Amino acid sequence: MGAVIAPSILSADFARLGAEIKDVEAGGAALIHVDVMDGHFVPNITIGPAVTRAVRRVTQLPVDCHLMIEEPDRYLAAFVEAGADMISVHVEVVHHLERTVAAIKELGAKAGVVLTPATPLETLSEILPVADFVLLMSVNPGFGGQTLIPSVLDKGKRLRAWIDRLGLATRIEIDGGVTLQNIDEVAAVGVDMIVAGSAIFGAGDPRGATAALVKKLAAIAEQGNRV
């Protein structure tokens, strides 16, 4: 099974958010990625539970909330109540990660742990068997439209091998700088979910852009099956 596409609404037209989400759904999106930023952990301020609730109302797809915020524990229940199906927190800001992951699961959502590009994979050693998914940032968090940092591809391959060696079902998500031009390299890592923001919403045709990425992934998966 190949990877799926998770459009990040960060680069969407917020005045037409419902229509933009319907477009990416029609293009074959598998989940909706919501980038939550607090102006502390990252310089930018974006979306909170209110907009997440609005997203929830217009789609049946899983809503994937990526919390780039300090003290995420204070907001977990609010995001789940707003409709988040998946919540990921940064290992760089959480003091008691096992407790936070357990709290997300207790609330009924899938729990993800996120590493920024410079955070070593080794920080996952104790949490990996417990997390539902790992989100590898392929840009420094804070803004859409940045360039993918290539070292993350090798990091992803090592994570894939590690998860497989342990026989875990932990899924891998990659986030930042993915384009139609580099998605083959990203898929080759063996990731399960690929976030794309500006590549989808940046050119005025979110449906077509999503469909193009989905089509490319299908071709890559097909090629893999033939080898």
Cite the active site residues: 35, 175
> Is residue 206 part of the contact set for ligand DX5 (CB under 6 A)?
no
Gap between the Cα atoms of 123 and 87, Å rounded: 19
> Is residue 90 part of the contact set for ligand DX5 (CB under 6 A)?
no
The number of residues in the chain equals 227
**Contacts with ligand DX5 in 157-176 (CB under 6 A)?**
175-176
For residue 218, count other CB atoms closer than 10 A to its CB: 12
**Contacts with ligand DX5 in 96-135 (CB under 6 A)?**
none
Exactly one of 12, 32, 178, 186 binds ligand DX5 (CB under 6 A); which one? Answer: 178
Q: How far is the CB of 121 from Zn ion (least distance, A)?
A: 19
23, 4, 20, 3: which is closest to 12 by C-alpha? 20
Measured N-to-C along each axis, helices 17-26 and 206-226 cross at an angle, to the nearest 10 degrees, of 30
Q: How far are the Cα atoms of 127, 159, 161, 188, 217 from residue 223, in angstroms, in the given order?
A: 33, 23, 21, 11, 10
Binding site residues, Zn ion, CB under 5 A: 35, 66, 175
> Is residue 196 part of the contact set for ligand DX5 (CB under 6 A)?
yes
Nearest residue (CB) to ligand DX5, 97 versus 114 = 114
Nearest residue (CB) to Zn ion, 142 versus 190 = 142
> Which phi and psi (to 5°) does residue 28 adopt?
110, 20
Q: How far is the CB of 157 from Zn ion (least distance, A)?
A: 21
Gap between the Cα atoms of 139 and 117, Å rounded: 6
Q: Which residue is nearest to Zn ion (CB)?
A: 66
> Is residue 144 part of the contact set for ligand DX5 (CB under 6 A)?
yes
Which of 92-100, 115-123, 190-198, 213-221 is the region at the interface with ligand DX5 (rule: CB under 6 A)? 190-198
